[in-house]
A and B are shown apart, each in its own frame.
Chain A
Amino acid sequence: MNFPDNLKYTQEHEWIRVEGDVAIVGITAFAQNELGDIVYVDINSVGQSLAQNEVFGTIEAVKTVSDLYLPIAAEIVEINPELQENPQLVNEDPYGKGWLVKVAPKNLDDINQLMDAATYQGKL
């Protein structure tokens, strides 16, 4: 399983990557593998400012429903528009085409408190 070094990770198996003033959030390869086929991504939080670890949506596999937790305090600015029709992108490419949301972090430095790839992998 692949855990890219340029991402930060959470206990809840989300990843986050800074791109300019925004950050991109998704779930890890481990998470998608545990869930199985992703069949529905339900995120209705665009425009909302949420605290760290607040639920920003849910992701559903064939057999399970899981909440999605925001890695850092941020405003949700965009949902991956592809996921409505192709939720399986989260399985196929969890760090690329299967990203979940773009967020505007309250404080970009917050990201530094999160785990790096090696630490996250050590906890699995």
Chain B
Amino acid sequence: MTQQLKKVPLNQLHEEELKAKMVEFAGFWMPVRYSSDKDEHMTVRQAVGVFDVSHMGEFFITGDKALELIQYVSANDASTLPIGKAQYSYFPNGKGGIVDDLLVYHLGEKEYMMVVNAANIEKDWQWIQTQNQNIGATLTNRSDEFCLFAVQGPYAANTLQKLTETALADMPYYAITRTTFAGIPNIMLASTGYTKKGSGSFEVFVPQAEAYQVWKKIFEAGAEWGIKPIGLGARDTLRLEMGYCLYGNDITDHTSPIEAGLGWVTKFTKNFIDADLFKKQKEEGISKKLVAFRMVEKGIPRSHYPICDANGNTIGEVTSGTISPVLNIGIGMGYVNTTHNALNTEVFVKIREQLHKAIIVKPPFVD
């Protein structure tokens, strides 16, 4: 089955005006790099960068049954989520795996938004519609309406503050507000992101018609701090330095959230899909666990490389790996048997048939 390659609304800007190198990702034609992966990475760590992540999906869940549906289809507890805040969560798939991971934003009274991964928009939409059959919340897939710009880095707040009267320095991490932004009323502005925990993380949901002018205004505002467009290459190294999971690599339809370390967003205070199964896994223990590790010896871990003990016996597999642009060493994540998952355990990554020493660490890799 061949699927039509989708383009984000500002495709022409990225491809022709900014001359990005484009690649296919999650069914979309996306900018992977504008200048250099490392330079873009450091721009986000030290100044401010903008990602066009308009490929992401936005579902709106509203009405009297909205919370009931969210509570049933996702593992985190949205009943504790105040209006104006966001939480990380995932959809269990009814077989102990994960349909997708997502952010749930509580926008208003009986009004929520889910932001889901681009590759999973169709799958997620089918899934929650099916689950909603006996619940009856009002669901709207508005994925094609918005452009989503992630503005990230230590000067992100300074940049965006020029375009809104909402006091961004006072906005706690994982919040969302509707405000006038770049002269456009009622824009959703969130303090969320995929590059770093805490300050310097913002995402702006912009209607397509205004997207180009908003992008330009953000770049004018950030010019004094050297604002740059950032591609998917740096997005991956930035998230990996934080130890954040990437759906499709570290978590999939076949990985258990308990094994993936998502117990902290798995709340047994309510009923949800697979709750009994996950509870059992938590109580009885699991045989493997997703860990973060950094290389002690030279070498760059990559997805699917074996993880071994000192004798070369395979004890796990890398799911994500790269060189950290900040640390300049290999870092990665992977599943290892629970015989070897303790912090500071020495493990070995098999790179081209040779064992390279690594050590299990607690993420994030950089502060």
- Cα distance A111–B131 in the bound complex, in angstroms: 65
Check A39 against B352 for contact (C-beta < 8 Å).
Answer: no
8 Å CB interface, B1-53 against A: 21, 32-33, 36-39
Stretch from A17-25, A60-68, A93-101 contacting the other chain: A60-68
Whether A116 is near chain B, meaning CB under 8 Å from some CB there, is no
Check A62 against B233 for contact (C-beta < 8 Å).
Answer: yes
The interface centre, meaning the residue of A36, A63, A91 with most chain B CB atoms within 10 A of its CB, is A63
Check A62 against B352 for contact (C-beta < 8 Å).
Answer: no
- Cα distance A62–B231 in the bound complex, in angstroms: 13
Check B36 against A60 for contact (C-beta < 8 Å).
Answer: no
Residues A36 and B302 in contact in the complex (CB < 8 Å), given A42-B352, A62-B233: no
Check B352 against A61 for contact (C-beta < 8 Å).
Answer: no
Check A40 against B33 for contact (C-beta < 8 Å).
Answer: no
Check B37 against A36 for contact (C-beta < 8 Å).
Answer: yes
Q: What residues of B have a CB within 8 angstroms of the CB of A40 in the complex? A: 298-300, 323
Whether A37 is near chain B, meaning CB under 8 Å from some CB there, is yes
Whether A58 is near chain B, meaning CB under 8 Å from some CB there, is yes
Find A62's partner among B21, B38, B298, B299 (CB 8 Å cutoff).
Answer: B38
Check A36 against B33 for contact (C-beta < 8 Å).
Answer: yes
- Cα distance A63–B32 in the bound complex, in angstroms: 10
How many residues of chain A are within 8 Å of chain B by beta carbon? Answer: 12
- Cα distance A1–B325 in the bound complex, in angstroms: 26
Closest to A39 in B: B323
In the complex, per-residue mask of A40-60: 1 if CB is within 8 Å of any chain B CB, else 0: 101000000000000000101
Whether B237 is near chain A, meaning CB under 8 Å from some CB there, is yes
Q: What residues of A have a CB within 8 angstroms of the CB of B33 in the complex? A: 36
Q: What residues of B have a CB within 8 angstroms of the CB of A91 in the complex? A: 36
Q: What residues of B have a CB within 8 angstroms of the CB of A62 in the complex? A: 37-38, 233, 237, 322-323, 325
- Cα distance A91–B38 in the bound complex, in angstroms: 12
Q: What residues of A have a CB within 8 angstroms of the CB of B322 in the complex? A: 62-63
Q: What residues of A have a CB within 8 angstroms of the CB of B274 in the complex? A: none
Q: What residues of A have a CB within 8 angstroms of the CB of B233 in the complex? A: 36, 62-63
Residues A37 and B38 in contact in the complex (CB < 8 Å), given A62-B237, A63-B233, A63-B236: yes
How many residues of chain B are within 8 Å of chain A by beta carbon? Answer: 18
Closest to A40 in B: B300
8 Å CB interface, B334-352 against A: 352
Check A60 against B236 for contact (C-beta < 8 Å).
Answer: no
Find A63's partner among B37, B39, B298, B299 (CB 8 Å cutoff).
Answer: B37
- Cα distance A62–B299 in the bound complex, in angstroms: 12
Q: What residues of A have a CB within 8 angstroms of the CB of B300 in the complex? A: 39-40, 60, 65
- Cα distance A12–B347 in the bound complex, in angstroms: 35
Closest to B330 in A: A40
Q: What residues of A have a CB within 8 angstroms of the CB of B39 in the complex? A: 37
Closest to B36 in A: A37
Check B298 against A58 for contact (C-beta < 8 Å).
Answer: no
B327 to chain A, nearest CB (A): 12
The interface centre, meaning the residue of A42, A58, A62, A91 with most chain B CB atoms within 10 A of its CB, is A62
- Cα distance A63–B238 in the bound complex, in angstroms: 12
Q: What residues of A have a CB within 8 angstroms of the CB of B299 in the complex? A: 40, 42
A34 to chain B, nearest CB (A): 8
Closest to B354 in A: A44
- Cα distance A58–B354 in the bound complex, in angstroms: 13
Q: What residues of A have a CB within 8 angstroms of the CB of B325 in the complex? A: 62
Q: What residues of A have a CB within 8 angstroms of the CB of B302 in the complex? A: 65
- Cα distance A91–B299 in the bound complex, in angstroms: 19
Q: What residues of A have a CB within 8 angstroms of the CB of B323 in the complex? A: 39-40, 60, 62
Q: What residues of B have a CB within 8 angstroms of the CB of A36 in the complex? A: 21, 33, 36-37, 233
- Cα distance A61–B233 in the bound complex, in angstroms: 11
A81 to chain B, nearest CB (A): 15
A29 to chain B, nearest CB (A): 14
Closest to A87 in B: B323
In the complex, per-residue mask of B281-306: 1 if CB is within 8 Å of any chain A CB, else 0: 00000000000000000111010000
- Cα distance A40–B302 in the bound complex, in angstroms: 13
Q: Which 8 residue pairs of A and B lie closest in terms of their CB atoms, listed nearest first?
A: A62-B37, A39-B323, A37-B38, A37-B37, A36-B37, A63-B233, A37-B36, A60-B300
Residues of A within 8 A of B (CB): 36-37, 39-40, 42, 58, 60-63, 65, 91
* Known contacts A37-B37, A62-B237, then 5 further A-B pairs from the complex at CB < 8 Å, ordered by chain A residue: A37-B38, A37-B39, A42-B299, A60-B323, A65-B302
